[in-house]
Structure 1
Amino acid sequence: MGFQDLHLFNLALLAKQGWRLLRNDDSLLYKVYKAKYFPNSSLFEAKAGASSSYVWNGIWEALDCLRKVCRWRVGNGQTIRIFKDPWLPDGVSVSSLIEVDENLKVHSLIDASTGWWNVHMMRALFNPNLIQQILKLQISVNSEDSLYWSHEKTGSFSVKSAYCFLQQNQHLSYWQSSSGNSEAVFWKSLWHLKLPKKMKIFAWKACQEKLPTYLNLKKKYVLDDAACVLCNQAGVGVVLRNHNGEVVVACSKVEKEVSFAEFIEAIALLRGLQLCVQWGVPKLMLKTDCLILVNALNENSECLTDFAFILQDIRRLMAAFQEVKVVHVNRLGNLVAHLLARHVWLINDICMWWDFCPSFISQAIWLDQLAICKDL
């Protein structure tokens, strides 16, 4: 039937009920449970209790799954506690360089006049690596803080991803120790394999999380940040062409504090729209090789992560045109934009070409024009 462990599958279903309570705190069911089981705390801080109902005990057991995977999307920051609530990607913990109130809210890190992060405030509280993680988050002071499910791109809970998480978590717990009976059999078999000793030691270290990975070095405070040192910035490439495929303007731009691939593609789309608005282009066809972005814009589907904030900006600009189409192309069909994006490693901020194309994209432009001629 698609699942192997009935207990974990049942927990995933119960976690779905917990997710519904989190997302619908104005429902009658939520109000009844809150009045009885957590009148003076949040759902995540609720207790089971000796006289709890069978249903509540089941939901309470599944809350641990939600606690580990759910993250806060920062809106105005009024709800989220900086040091106690999970609001940074990948479960990055927040610690301060100085002694501050442990119940301090995220809104204290936001500049009310600009609606963006107060960098001066953060420099006084956090180390530079943590600040870079925070600056990657998109915020909207006009929106409420909300929870999202971090194991789905859209941020919406799914039983499938919850079940996969529970399986992985169970397997991780199972192999963390080599002292149990079944584990002992595994380790005994490993050490008796006819392999070089260094390979067996490497396998043991990998299973025991003892390899010097970025994440493990961060846990031991050898490194301050688990992110790749090459991922602090990215480049976007934008090209505006007429119906014949001729270049009107091309642009390469450095974007700092980016978080994931879809976000970079969305930023490129946003920059292209901003450029076309200034040029007074009435009709536009937007091409990208990011299918997730295309579906999100064409289907107007719900997104619960901070990715939704940039989607709002894109939709707002799209409304300024007489006609806009968002279409998906394969990576080769978007080669010109990718070449422009790679060019940012040779510039400091932005580089633009008007009415002609730079030499490093000329061949890709020519190939695109051939494809347009074939379509005609």
Structure 2
Amino acid sequence: MAELFAYMGWSIWFNRNAKRVGSTSLPTEKIYNDAMEWLQEYNSVQEGPIQQDMVSHSNQWRPPPPSAYKINFGATFIDTDSAGLGVVARDSDGMVIASLSKCIRLPPMAADLEALACRRAILFTLEIGLQDVVFEGDSEVIINHLKADQPCLTAFGHIIEEARALSAKLREASYSHTRRKGNKVADKLAKLAKNLYEPQVWMEDIHSSALQFVLLDRGLMPD
């Protein structure tokens, strides 16, 4: 319950600042629902030892099948009016195919940010011409919505539906959830957006500060 009140307090503070500078803000009546969605995700990664054992395989990055590519995406808050998105595409050997770092205007809800990161990852995949892919992020709420058969009726549902429509253009697409430890490369790229004035794309390369995490993931790959 303390986490719920803390998040609601942050949302009220964020809305006040957004209104002051003329930015988009979340309607007051939706703050509670947004906080409940956030709390659901928070609790999903705070499960006890039994659940931890069941998903322990997702604590580190795993390569895709030989014929496919894995696209990891991440998002982070930068300041009161901006956020960063990070995307990295890798093959079954853990080699970087392409990567992206982008700064965007901060959306009104935290879940919106993760959904936007996923949509950008799918669009980036289409832009670089990959067709058989696994999309992976550390927001279990977003991944579950993408996997669901029914329409997404949440406040960020339109972003999920756009992401689904984009992924339908791919030959093969699936979604995977990982813990934050398994998403370090994408998270690092998202944080790098703080210093960017325009989107940065690296083909068959990545920013030097994210390279250490790529090498670490490769070192942990199964033989």
SS where residue 244 of structure 1 aligns?
coil
Unaligned runs of 5+ in 1: 1-88, 95-126, 138-146, 155-227
What is the match of residue 90 of structure 2?
Answer: 241
SS where residue 132 of structure 1 aligns?
coil
What is the match of residue 58 of structure 2?
Answer: none
Aligned counterpart for 2:210 among listed residues 332, 350, 361:
361
The two structures have a TM-score, normalised by structure 2, of: 0.67
Closer, same or farther in 2 for the Cα pair 1:360/1:149, shift >3 Å?
closer
What is the match of residue 339 of structure 1?
Answer: 188
Closer, same or farther in 2 for the Cα pair 1:284/1:305, shift >3 Å?
same
Alignment of 1:59-78 (within 5 A): none
CA distance in 1, matches of 2:81, 2:216: 33
What is the match of residue 37 of structure 2?
Answer: 153
What is the match of residue 57 of structure 2?
Answer: none
Q: Which has the higher contact order (CA 8 A, sep 6+)?
A: 2
Q: Post-superposition shift, 1:302?
A: 5.1
CA distance in 2, matches of 1:362, 1:259: 32
Q: Which has the larger radius of gyration?
A: 1
Cα contact 1:148–1:304 (8 A) shared by 2: no
Cα contact 1:235–1:252 (8 A) shared by 2: yes
The two structures have a TM-score, normalised by structure 1, of: 0.41
Closer, same or farther in 2 for the Cα pair 1:250/1:93, shift >3 Å?
closer
CA distance in 1, matches of 2:78, 2:97: 35
CA distance in 1, matches of 2:214, 2:126: 23
Cα contact 1:148–1:305 (8 A) shared by 2: no
Q: How many residues align?
A: 171
Q: Which residue identity lines up with residue 209 of structure 2 in the other structure?
A: F
Higher mean displacement: 350-359 or 256-265: 256-265
Cα contact 1:132–1:257 (8 A) shared by 2: no
CA distance in 2, matches of 1:338, 1:243: 20
Alignment of 1:273-352 (within 5 A): 273-301=122-150, 303-352=152-201
CA distance in 2, matches of 1:312, 1:277: 16
CA distance in 2, matches of 1:261, 1:368: 27
What is the match of residue 371 of structure 1?
Answer: 220
CA distance in 2, matches of 1:237, 1:371: 22
Q: Which residue identity lines up with residue 118 of structure 2 in the other structure?
A: L
Q: Note the alpha carbon deviations across 1:254-283, whole angstroms, 9 max, x for none.
A: 010322332222111111111111222111
Alignment of 1:93-112 (within 5 A): none
Q: Which residue identity lines up with residue 282 of structure 1 in the other structure?
A: Q
RMSD over aligned CA atoms reads 3.1
More strand by share: 2
SS where residue 182 of structure 2 aligns?
helix
Q: Post-superposition shift, 1:320?
A: 0.7
Unaligned runs of 5+ in 2: 1-10, 39-76
Q: Which residue identity lines up with residue 100 of structure 2 in the other structure?
A: C
Aligned counterpart for 1:264 among listed residues 98, 102, 113:
113
Asked if residue 250 in structure 1 is aligned to residue 99 in structure 2, the reply is: yes
